[in-house]
Structure 1
Amino acid sequence: MNKQLLEIQPKELKFIFELKKQSSCSVRLTNNTHHYVAFKVKTTSPKKYCVRPNVGIILPKSTCDFNVTMQAQAVAPPDMVCKDKFLIQSTVVPVGTTDEDITASMFAKDDGRYIQENKLRVILISPPNSPVLSPINGVLKQGPTYESSSLKDPVFSKFEILTPPHTVRESFCP
């Protein structure tokens, strides 16, 4: 069997990157086959991301969404280029298989089993409407031209009001 088991949308993981704030995106897996399909999500940077759920069973002609959360980062990568990647593996499993039945051996290629593999790259996006604060060399700087205009211009004062005083870091992954 050498056909597409899962359709994956989107093809790239796009995160709005703001220093010291976590960001999430969602991926939809669509099983267009008449088989039960198990999936597993892997990443090149497991400490940086949280994937929920990272394994699962998708029933025939069904969809499943999983969320990827990038943990808060203290520094921006050079030129906002991220080299992290995700691998989604999928394989046909027997009817009635549940999420609890999924094992690492189901995704082993050595037993002749067909494993579909799809790679997704990570794209970092600057937040919209962020002229006041921007990372420069990984450090958050505030330019003097914006400081003076924020005092006079009511539009920029609104940005100051909306800025959270302190963010409590929460982890959505146990």
Structure 2
Amino acid sequence: MSTGELLNVEPLDLKFPFELRKQISCSLQLSNKTENHVAFKVKTTNPKKYCVRPNTGLVMPRSTCDVTVTMQAQKEAPPDMQCKDKFLLQSVVVSSGLATKDITPEMFSKQPGRVVEECKLRVIYLPPPQPPSPVLEEPNEGISPKVSFNSRSFNGSSEVKRQFASSDDKSAEVRSLISKLTDEKNAAVQQCNKIRKEIELLKRGGNKSQGGGISIIIVIVICLIGLVLGYLMK
């Protein structure tokens, strides 16, 4: 803060968070610490780059006035983010009946008997504000999800065990059925062999009666059943 005889100026550095292709503004506060009316004027070394509102004005006794400085959007950043632009704020005591529209540049020219106070201001470029960093989860947080995950793992393991148990039961049933069919096949084969021998005996005895014919038919049917069962067991 500048503590001149007429005005206090705060801040003395015009700080702009620099961003390409974006207008950026900052403010000055002028405080009149006298009982006089004080006129001011703001000048800059680069008037095409900045807009000052108001660039001239009056500060009443023991009062303040805010000045806004806007930097026009820039297409490129300066080397090393260093700015050589300067501002100069001039202030002078004026009569109490003077209006803002009556302020002229000649009032700030240095002449004998006129005190023109000057305050130089620097321009500083600041890096643009960074977005907040994501909050990392504490190691002791998230206990419930872990418990839930373990519970799901346990349930999944039980389900797999049940599936294997069910598979084992089915395998046992299949093995039992195969064993039963195998026994029936063997029995049928034995029966066929026995009947075949009987047929041979009948042939030798020359028995051509009706009963012999029926026996032959029964033998053929039983043999067919044995063949079908043998095919199913392959």
Same fold (TM over 0.5): yes
Question: For the structure 1 residues 130 and 111, does the alpha-carbon distance in structure 2 shift closer, same or farther, using more than 3 Å as the test?
Answer: farther
Aligned residue for 1:110, secondary structure, equals: coil
Aligned residue for 2:73, secondary structure, equals: coil
Question: Does 1:29 find its partner at 2:30?
Answer: yes
Aligned residue for 1:124, secondary structure, equals: strand
Runs of 4+ residues deviating >3 angstroms:
none
- Between Structure 1 and Structure 2, the one with more helix by share is 2
What per-residue deviation string (whole Å, max 9, x for no partner) do you get for residues 124-168 of structure 1?
00111169xxxxxxxxxxxxxxxxxxxxx9xxxxxxxxxxxxxxx
Q: CA deviation at 1:111?
A: 4.0
Question: For the structure 1 residues 130 and 85, does the alpha-carbon distance in structure 2 shift closer, same or farther, using more than 3 Å as the test?
Answer: farther
Residue equivalent to 1:44: 45
Over the aligned positions, Cα root-mean-square deviation in angstroms equals 1.5
Task: Please report the TM-score for the alignment, with normalisation by the length of structure 2.
Answer: 0.54
Matches of residues 45-124 of structure 1 in structure 2 within 5 Å?
45-124=46-125
Residue equivalent to 1:18: 19
Aligned residue for 2:111, secondary structure, equals: helix
Distance 1:7 1:17 in 2: 27
Distance 2:56 2:131 in 1: 36
Residue equivalent to 2:9: 8
Task: Please report the TM-score for the alignment, with normalisation by the length of structure 1.
Answer: 0.72
Aligned residue for 2:30, secondary structure, equals: strand
- Between Structure 1 and Structure 2, the one with more strand by share is 1
Aligned residue for 2:75, secondary structure, equals: coil
Q: CA deviation at 1:81?
A: 0.2
Runs of 5+ in structure 1 lacking a partner? 132-152, 154-174
**Higher RCO, Cα 8 Å, sep 6+:** 1
Distance 1:113 1:4 in 2: 14
How many residues get paired?
130
What is the letter of the counterpart of residue 10 of structure 1? P
Distance 2:119 2:83 in 1: 18
Distance 1:28 1:91 in 2: 16
What per-residue deviation string (whole Å, max 9, x for no partner) do you get for residues 77-98 of structure 1?
0000000010000000001211
Aligned residue for 2:38, secondary structure, equals: strand
Residue equivalent to 2:146: none
What per-residue deviation string (whole Å, max 9, x for no partner) do you get for residues 46-84 of structure 1?
000000000001110000001000000001000000000
Once the two structures are overlaid, the 10-residue window that deviates more, 50-59 or 105-114, is 105-114
Q: CA deviation at 1:17?
A: 0.3
What is the letter of the counterpart of residue 79 of structure 1? D
Q: CA deviation at 1:110?
A: 2.6
Identity score, percent: 61
Q: CA deviation at 1:4?
A: 1.3
Larger C-alpha radius of gyration, 1 or 2? 2
